[in-house]
Amino acid sequence: MLKQVLAVMAEGVVRTQGELATAVGVSLPLMSEMVVQLAVQGYLEEGTMCADTCDGCALHVTCDEDRSLQMWTLTEKGRRAVQT
């Protein structure tokens, strides 16, 4: 099931963890645990959405006022896992 999460993430569509959970068919709490596990194993890394401003960012509507939205991206190891 972890590989399925990576495959959905590799599609390149930005999703919330809730949307990712729906796409994979699991609960949000389970998805949160899966994301942490994938990060610990080196398949995901935490990214940042915005540097100083959200002006022009396609995701600006999802930003919290303090711009603390957590994002995850595939690492090279994660991309290789999807290809195998």
Note the pLDDT of residue 70.
74
Q: Which residues pair with 46 in a beta bridge?
A: 72
Domains of the chain: 2-83 (1.10.10.10)
pTM exceeds 0.95, yes or no: no
pLDDT at 44 over 60: yes
**Tens-place pLDDT, residues 52-79:** 555 656 555 655 555 556 788 899 999 9
CA distance linking residue 80 with residue 3, whole number of Å: 11
Write phi, then psi, for 23 (nearest 5 degrees).
Answer: -65, -35
In order, the DSSP letters of 18-67 are HHHHHHHT--HHHHHHHHHHHHHTTSEEEE-S-SS--TT-TTGGG--TT-
Averaged pLDDT score across all residues of the chain: 83
